[in-house]
Amino acid sequence: MWANNEVGTVNPVRELAAIAHEFGVPMHTDAVQAVGVLPVDFAASGVDALSLTGHKLGGPIGAGVLLLGREVVLTPLLHGGGQERDVRSGTLDTPAVVGLAAAVELAVADAPRRAPALAALRDDLVARITAVAPDATVNGDPGTGVVEGGPSRLPGNAHLSFPGCEGDSLLMLLDAQGIECSTGSACTAGVAQPSHVLLAMGAGEATARGSLRFSLGHTSTAADVDAVAAAIGPVLERARRAGKAVAR
């Protein structure tokens, strides 16, 4: 991943690609979260392949891009027509392709303005949440550093853990207030699982279960931050009461 979708940490892709190439290993990067908010240069990154998708930057749903280095040879999974230079056969969705190209162009051009604005909103959101919940912890890189010419954290990502709370309870309580966020967890057989990202980072299961991701985008405003700041206190209190009741 160029940048992690849950905790927002930006990875040193150029450095990783150089290490991979030392051992003759081709490298692909998932840049879905990065394009349009971070400086992304395919050639300079040194990777062999890069993918992105339209719906993350205002483009059509279902349209994506796979960039390949000129020397990369792929074995196609679908055979027949020979479209896309024999990489993927099938009729092209031309309107979606054109829409995706336009969305990428607009998002990349606007990124130098939009990214700092999102980061400012994100920092305000984190500050106001932690003021209400001092025991909350922010997961991922703090975003104060620089990684390969850009910020070390996605500007629109805030990921926090709340001790004593179940993420799913917080999710439903905030949804009732008209606030959309994510636990980052997957469900198997109706049982919520802790975030595999946080577990891989060394967090305990309780911490991984009690986490939320808030994502800010081009439609986000200071009023949205105000709404979260006003709701989070009562929501945390109710979630903790529910957790204690279950524990009994």
Instruction: Assess contact for 28 and 65: CB atoms under 8 A.
Output: no
| Adjacent-strand bridge partners of 138 | 160
- DSSP for 45-61 reads H--SEEEEEGGGTTS-T
Return the number of other C-beta atoms located less than 10 Å from residue 180's C-beta: 11
Q: Which of 156, 153, 161 is nearest to 133 (CA)?
A: 161
Taking alpha carbons only, the member of 198, 192, 158 closest to residue 172 is 192
Q: Which residues are catalytic?
A: 187
Distance in angstroms (rounded) separating the CA atoms of residues 92 and 31:
22
Continuous segment of H or E residues that includes residue 192: strand 191-192
Token couple for 66: 């796979």
28 touches 37 (CB < 8 A): no
Indicate the burial class of 114 (C-beta count within 10 angstroms; 0-12, 13-18, 19 or more): middle
